[in-house]
Amino acid sequence: MHKIILWDNDGENIKNISRYINSNNNKFKVIGTSMDLDPDYTGIINKKKPDLIVADIKFFGIHSGRILSDIHNKFPEIRFILYGGLNEAEYLKKYLSYGAIDYMIKPFKPSELERCLERASDYFGNTLKKIEEAKKLIRSFENNAAVFEGLFLNNLVNGIISDREEIEENFKYFNMAMTKDFTVMQIKIDNFLDINKGMLPENKHMMIYNMLDTVISSLIEYNARSFISSFNIVTVILSGTEGIENIYRIAESIKNNILHKNDIKVTIGIGRTYEAPEDIYLSFNESAICINHRYSLGSNSVIPIDFIQANRKITFNCSYIKEQKLAFNAASGLFDNCVRLLDDIFSYLRKAEPLPERLFSQMVVEIMLSIGRCVLEQRHMSDTKVPEFFSTQLALEIKTLDGAYEYLYENIKRFCAYVNAQRIKEDERIFKEAKEYVEKRYYETISIFKTALFVQTTPDHLNRLFLEYEKDSFYEFAVRTRLEEGKRLLRETDFDDNIIAVNIGYDNGRYFKAIFKQYEKIDPLEYRAKYKEL
């Protein structure tokens, strides 16, 4: 039941309205009335906590706008039903923006009050429904918060999230007490393909989940976060743990616990420890390199990066994801995005200096090949020869990091300009073919979907092209094309409306007549007569 406060300077009105509401509407109850505006009206509202205020606009005096605005700002959930004289109608309409659901003109009938109350009831019902839906969604989100934490951690270790402030905000949001000195371990199941042969999917999933549970219980004394990063890999981020010897001991303990509890042999790769959270992905990629060494160093072992790359700090696959994004953005002509990605990639590489000289040309050639693959996916770029923009010979001569950056920057800039020019040509082709399609088939059942399918684009894109080139939507253009033919038939033939309608793609003359009048502001018969007068 919704609570009402009733305010009116007229005691008889208060009496009648209160009696009607309490006697005839079981959805509302009057819990308070007043004939004079209390200076502490907000205190009264705070104490009574009404859902609805029913009031005569005169009750608020000359400051009605200020008072209603004040109440609405302080209690935005409260709604109003206002009433007043005919000369106050404009003010009543104005106050609909202050939280008023409806208004009435005095003297009003009980049916008008009932109408307003029904509107209020519908409003509160919908509001409560939305509140319940929001609560349900929040509960569902809270129950699945681990999913979003896992997404964050996966993006973090893959270098997709690299802004320190954003990382620290997520640490705080997911209640991760991580501050500095980050080390990543990857724990990979040995002989995974052999183990899961013939295994049911649910058992495969349960295997990695059980392993995750063992890892978490093994790290309960440490500041760590563990998550499944692949069907056969659990990744751990350690924070604040000092010394490779201590970290190695922790990894050995995890390995032995997994073997004891889950009967699974694993190899654990350990990356370097980095002070800043934005460098976590470096440690992650180093741990992946360590795991790859299990083929030469032996599986079911712990392999720290410092044991195999003591004096080398370059992780060759660290920028792979961003290099792929760079290629895609270049093939799409998005130069600004390319610059940001180039800066990110080379910022990482500068951290890893000194670098082997052959890396620069190798990286540039790989990016060129990736751009070429992405270009093949672009229909309007199918004839493009990427080597015309990226010389392999010049790329192989690159000897420095700055040289690699300059080469990619200048050539990607030139390539993106070409891509955008090609896209404009393709858009012009699409628009021209679509326009011709409509002009030749106006008498058929034309739809934007069929036309888009014919010219091989999406309906939304096609409509945007018509708005750009024709200054009209696709639908408007199709209608006007039909009407132009309709006007010709009106001028040059004696066909009646029904015959003309069929000839231009409409079902009947009545519809043609209505459309014609809507667009031409004249009846078809009047148009024909006016033309013959000329």
Percent of residues, the chain, with pLDDT higher than 70: 97
What is the distance between the alpha carbons of residues 318 and 187, in angstroms, rounded to a whole number?
A: 18
Write down the pLDDT at residue 529: 86
Tracing tokens 């008498």 back to the chain, one arrives at 443
DSSP secondary-structure letter at 526?
H
What is the distance between the alpha carbons of residues 17 and 53, in angstroms, rounded to a whole number?
A: 12
DSSP secondary-structure letter at 279?
G
DSSP secondary-structure letter at 274?
B
Write down the pLDDT at residue 382: 64
pLDDT tens for residues 7-48? 999 999 999 999 888 888 778 999 999 998 888 999 999 999
187: confidence class by pLDDT, cuts 50, 70, 90: very high
342: confidence class by pLDDT, cuts 50, 70, 90: very high
Q: Does the structure show a pLDDT above 90 at 194?
A: no
Across 286-311, average pLDDT: 86
pLDDT tens for residues 55-88? 998 898 888 888 988 999 999 889 999 999 888 8
Query: Any idea which of 90-104, 175-189, 328-342, 466-480 has the lowest mean pLDDT?
Result: 90-104
Query: Any idea which of 207-221, 363-377, 398-412, 503-517 has the lowest mean pLDDT?
Result: 363-377
Is-contact 82 100, C-beta < 8 A? yes
Task: State the pairing for strand pair 2-7/52-56.
Answer: parallel
Q: Does the structure show a pLDDT above 90 at 376?
A: no
Write down the pLDDT at residue 228: 94
Three-class SS state of 312:
coil
Phi, psi of 223 (to 5 degrees): -85, 95
What is the distance between the alpha carbons of residues 104 and 92, in angstroms, rounded to a whole number?
A: 8
Write down the pLDDT at residue 317: 47
Is-contact 5 53, C-beta < 8 A? yes
Q: Residues near 406 by Cβ (< 8 Å), separated by ≥ 6? A: none
What is the distance between the alpha carbons of residues 224 and 187, in angstroms, rounded to a whole number?
A: 14
The torsion angle over the Cα atoms of residues 3, 8, 14 and 20, rounded to 10 degrees, is -60
Q: What is the CA radius of gyration of the chain?
A: 36
What is the distance between the alpha carbons of residues 142 and 157, in angstroms, rounded to a whole number?
A: 23
> Which of 128, 88, 123, 83 lies closest to 107, judged by CA?
83
Q: Does the structure show a pLDDT above 60 at 386?
A: yes
533: confidence class by pLDDT, cuts 50, 70, 90: low
Q: Which two tokens stand for residue 127?
A: 């509001």
pLDDT tens for residues 90-117? 888 888 888 888 889 888 888 889 999 9
The mean pLDDT value of the chain amounts to: 89
> Which of 6, 9, 17 lies closest to 58, judged by CA?
9
Write down the pLDDT at residue 381: 67
Is-contact 291 304, C-beta < 8 A? no
Provide the residue type at 401 as one letter.
Answer: L
Sign of CA dihedral 84, 87, 90, 94: negative
Q: Residues near 139 by Cβ (< 8 Å), separated by ≥ 6? A: none
Across 326-337, average pLDDT: 92
Across 373-380, average pLDDT: 76
Query: Any idea which of 60-69, 77-86, 128-137, 198-207 has the lowest mean pLDDT?
Result: 128-137
Residue 30, strand partner residues: 4
Is-contact 38 67, C-beta < 8 A? no
What is the distance between the alpha carbons of residues 177 and 180, in angstroms, rounded to a whole number?
A: 10
Residue 183, strand partner residues: 238
- Angle among Cα 163, 327, 403 to the nearest 5 degrees reads 80
Write down the pLDDT at residue 64: 86
What is the distance between the alpha carbons of residues 368 and 396, in angstroms, rounded to a whole number?
A: 12
Across 172-201, average pLDDT: 90
Quickly list H helices, 277-319: 280-292, 294-297, 305-308
Is-contact 415 328, C-beta < 8 A? no
Across 116-130, average pLDDT: 87
**Would you put residue 300 in left (φ > 0), alpha (ψ -120 to 50) or beta?**
left
pLDDT tens for residues 164-180? 999 999 999 999 988 88
Query: Any idea which of 112-116, 248-252, 376-380, 411-415 has the lowest mean pLDDT?
Result: 376-380
pLDDT tens for residues 411-449? 999 999 999 998 899 999 999 999 999 999 988 888 999
Tracing tokens 């013959």 back to the chain, one arrives at 532
Residue 3, strand partner residues: 29
